[in-house]
A and B are shown apart, each in its own frame.
Chain A
Amino acid sequence: MIGETAAVGKGRGGFVFQVTTDPSHSPWLHRFVVLTAAATLFLLCVGGLVTSHGVGMAVPDWPTTYGYNMFFFPISKWTGGIFYEHTHRLVASVVGLLTAILAAWVWIKEARGRQRNLALAGILCTLGLMGVRTQTMFIVLASVAAVVLIYSFWKATHDPRPLRWLAAVAFTAVLVQGVLGGLRVTQYKDELGIFHGTLAQLFFVLICAIALFTSKWWNETGGVSRPTSEVHGESQTPAASVSSAASRSVRRLFLLSTVLIFFQLIIGATMRHEHAGLAIPDFPLAYGKLWPDLDPQSIETYNARRIEITAVRPIQATHIVIQMAHRLMALLIVVCVVLVAWNAKREVDPVLKRLSRFWLGMILVQAGFGAWTIWSNKAADIATAHVLVGALSLVTGALGCIICFRRLKVPVGVARASDQSSKSGAGAFGVNSATALNP
């Protein structure tokens, strides 16, 4: 049987995730997705090191590397900035291959007949064509992938079995992402670098979401909250209702904080890809003030005092404003996540409680890394750690949102009790859902 895993839709209580049990849940698929997520995190780390060291252009050609097929580039030539950039390309290839396997696996598991054969043929054909290592071929593939990506995303929001479409989104996104990285090198466009950095974060979120949807916990949670008859494909019990897994305030706060973190990551990517170094060299003050002077004379003085080892650009007032926005946004995010943790204390779901506390801890560590990045004069390892924890913060927020917004089907009596408890401030379920459903 092909089981449903998760669906996205608009319910009475707002945007919610429908959770149903997948009786053919495959632990090995889940483990493979987790492996892909770990590889993606490693790729983010290497990509962060490339930008932190300012060596994104150390290999001037693409998809070749100094004229070599990149898989046969001699190790003896992996020196200086080439080491980071070339490693980034190789790890990206591994992540691309893992994503292709993931997509094929999900389509084999989730689809049947002509549709499945078509999907598998598409994946294999793409991998085969990627053997033609020319820029034109990659651009053609990425263009087709972009169209398929949009279609797959649309299908994922409308199909009752969205996992395969999410896998298709992942596969096409990784292809587009790779070509964006290549074009950033050959077209000399920093804007592409910012987009490349942002899409990397979204791709990581997507892979982690797929890992969540294929997890035993996710499927078991859905199973517990549904009558047994439905699990086996029978009609839904009339005495069942739908409830969200978290109270409205926590849902909203989780979503708000996650959106803020996403914007924060875009600001961060903009700062990093402007290659202007540290626009403000001190913290918590900025050039000794709460808000630094931005007149041309002051900017000239700041630039005259800056001694950077790499060939960074002279800073402009906009660079300083962007960094100030990054600092203020960080403060806002800390406040929001503190509110999430505070409000989640009243939630019954222990997972949400733990997740919100973990998230708060992560955000505080991230703020610490932000300060340390400045105090260390943007040391490459510290700046990269800041990027990594930022990615993990976004993923935690996104997964928290998915968990908060999921729809749990609970017996009517329990739902009513939950409504009453919710009004009295005891959270969505009023009592522990597992206890309520399994007395």
Chain B
Amino acid sequence: MALLGLRSIFEEKTTLMKTTSTLSIVAALVACSQAATAGDITGKVTLKGTPPPEKTIDMKADPGCGKMHTETVKTRFYVVGSAGELADTVVMLKGISGKSTGASAAPLVIDQKGCEYQPYVAVAQTGQKIVVKNSDPVLHNVSTIRDKAAEGNKQSNLAQMPGGADLNFTFPAAENFLRFKCDVHPWMFSYITVVDHPYVAVTGEDGSFSIKGVPPGKYTIVALHRKAAPNGVEQEIEVTADGAKSDFTLEAK
């Protein structure tokens, strides 16, 4: 009887393994077919009009910061190229949720270098690890305290000594322009937009962006800039296997 029981369990296990393998193969095939048909969205964001002039940052409050710079340090609200190319604009697909691959994505690294946050604007997925480093010989406090935090996203204010261990953050909810700042050096701040999917990018100094691996279909794409478009400017696009192109022109008010 006992032998018969064992045999039955073995047969059930074998059947289960076969079914699982079949499902895995199907899923892999679907993923491959999607990857094969998915396209990239590329485009450029430009600023029309003249933005207000940036201000000079005086770092004399901490001589340790001042001596790390030989050139004048300015604020970075509008980083604009000669032809109006606008950097630090977040471009993402709208209306997608629950598609985050943040848990398996490479960590986003933010460095405090020269008493400035590098980068100034970045994007991360929900659940993605965000590592904050301190490459400076001075201490900083890393504060994520903000006016309105998305529900579930914690706020904290942590000390980080020079050469101290990296600080790790993870945010479970989507939130635009989540602010990291240092109160020891109040000119130091950075914004991270957290989204619930991987279809997001930040424009570089040439104003261009590229969102990779978007499944074919119709989408709403939105461009967000901290100053020029805090509520976003939207466009409707259709992504095919060849991808799609989407350019934005934001206005300096």
* Contact-size category for B: 35 or more
| Cβ of B3 under 8 Å from chain A | no
| Cβ of B18 under 8 Å from chain A | no
| Cβ of A77 under 8 Å from chain B | yes
Are A58 and B141 also in contact (CB < 8 A) when A79-B62, A307-B53 are? yes
* Chain B, residue nearest A186 (CB): B157
Are A57 and B253 also in contact (CB < 8 A) when A66-B159, A79-B184, A81-B184 are? no
| Cβ of B185 under 8 Å from chain A | yes
Please indicate which of the listed interface residues A57, A66, A304, A307 has the most CB atoms of chain B within 10 Å of its own CB.
A304
- Min CB distance A208 to B, Å, is 32
- Min CB distance A270 to B, Å, is 14
Please indicate which of the listed interface residues A80, A185, A188 has the most CB atoms of chain B within 10 Å of its own CB.
A80
A60 contacts B253, CB within 8 Å? no
| Cβ of A239 under 8 Å from chain B | no
- Min CB distance A65 to B, Å, is 10
| Cβ of A53 under 8 Å from chain B | yes
B159 contacts A60, CB within 8 Å? yes
From residue 74 to 132 of chain B, which have CB atoms closer than 8 A to chain A? 75, 77
**Cβ–Cβ < 8 Å partners of B179 in chain A:** 311
A58 contacts B184, CB within 8 Å? yes
Are A309 and B53 also in contact (CB < 8 A) when A80-B65, A188-B145 are? no
Are A60 and B55 also in contact (CB < 8 A) when A81-B183, A303-B230, A313-B147 are? no
| Cβ of A365 under 8 Å from chain B | no
* Chain A, residue nearest B64 (CB): A79
Picked from A66, A80, A300, A314, the residue with its CB within 8 Å of the CB of B62 is: A80
CA distance A185 to B252 in the complex (A): 37
Picked from B64, B141, B253, the residue with its CB within 8 Å of the CB of A305 is: B253
B75 contacts A55, CB within 8 Å? no
B159 contacts A61, CB within 8 Å? yes
A54 contacts B184, CB within 8 Å? no
**Cβ–Cβ < 8 Å partners of A185 in chain B:** 157
| Cβ of A56 under 8 Å from chain B | yes
CA distance A57 to B185 in the complex (A): 11
CA distance A309 to B61 in the complex (A): 13
A310 contacts B54, CB within 8 Å? no
B139 contacts A311, CB within 8 Å? no
- Min CB distance A311 to B, Å, is 4
| Cβ of B186 under 8 Å from chain A | yes
**Cβ–Cβ < 8 Å partners of A57 in chain B:** 141, 143, 145, 157, 183
* Chain A, residue nearest B147 (CB): A313
| Cβ of A82 under 8 Å from chain B | yes
| Cβ of B169 under 8 Å from chain A | no
- Min CB distance A189 to B, Å, is 10
**Cβ–Cβ < 8 Å partners of A81 in chain B:** 61, 183-186
From residue 299 to 340 of chain A, which have CB atoms closer than 8 A to chain B? 300-301, 303-311, 313-314
- Min CB distance A239 to B, Å, is 66
CA distance A57 to B62 in the complex (A): 16
**Cβ–Cβ < 8 Å partners of B63 in chain A:** 79
CA distance A66 to B58 in the complex (A): 25
0/1 per residue, B55-72, Cβ < 8 Å to A? 101100111110000000
* Chain A, residue nearest B115 (CB): A80
- Min CB distance B89 to A, Å, is 13
* Chain B, residue nearest A297 (CB): B253
0/1 per residue, B229-253, Cβ < 8 Å to A? 0110000000000000000000011
Are A80 and B184 also in contact (CB < 8 A) when A57-B145, A304-B252 are? yes
Picked from B65, B138, B183, B230, the residue with its CB within 8 Å of the CB of A56 is: B183
| Cβ of B199 under 8 Å from chain A | no
| Cβ of B227 under 8 Å from chain A | yes
**Cβ–Cβ < 8 Å partners of B77 in chain A:** 307
CA distance A53 to B179 in the complex (A): 18
B55 contacts A307, CB within 8 Å? yes
A309 contacts B75, CB within 8 Å? yes
CA distance A308 to B21 in the complex (A): 58
CA distance A417 to B158 in the complex (A): 70
**Cβ–Cβ < 8 Å partners of A66 in chain B:** 139, 159, 161
- Contacts A58-B183, A66-B139, A300-B231 aside, 13 further interface pairs with beta carbons under 8 A come to A55-B183, A60-B141, A60-B157, A67-B159, A79-B138, A85-B183, A188-B145, A188-B157, A303-B227, A307-B54, A309-B187, A310-B187, A311-B189
- B-contacting residues of A (Cβ < 8 Å)? 53-61, 66-67, 77, 79-83, 85, 185, 188, 300-301, 303-311, 313-314
- A-contacting residues of B (Cβ < 8 Å)? 52-55, 57-58, 61-65, 75, 77, 138-139, 141, 143, 145, 147, 155, 157-159, 161, 179, 181, 183-187, 189, 227-228, 230-231, 252-253
11 A/B residue pairs, CB under 8 Å, sorted by A: A55-B184, A57-B157, A58-B141, A58-B184, A66-B159, A79-B62, A82-B184, A83-B61, A300-B230, A308-B75, A310-B186
What 4 pairs across the A-B complex have the smallest Cβ distances?
Answer: A311-B189, A58-B183, A60-B157, A80-B184
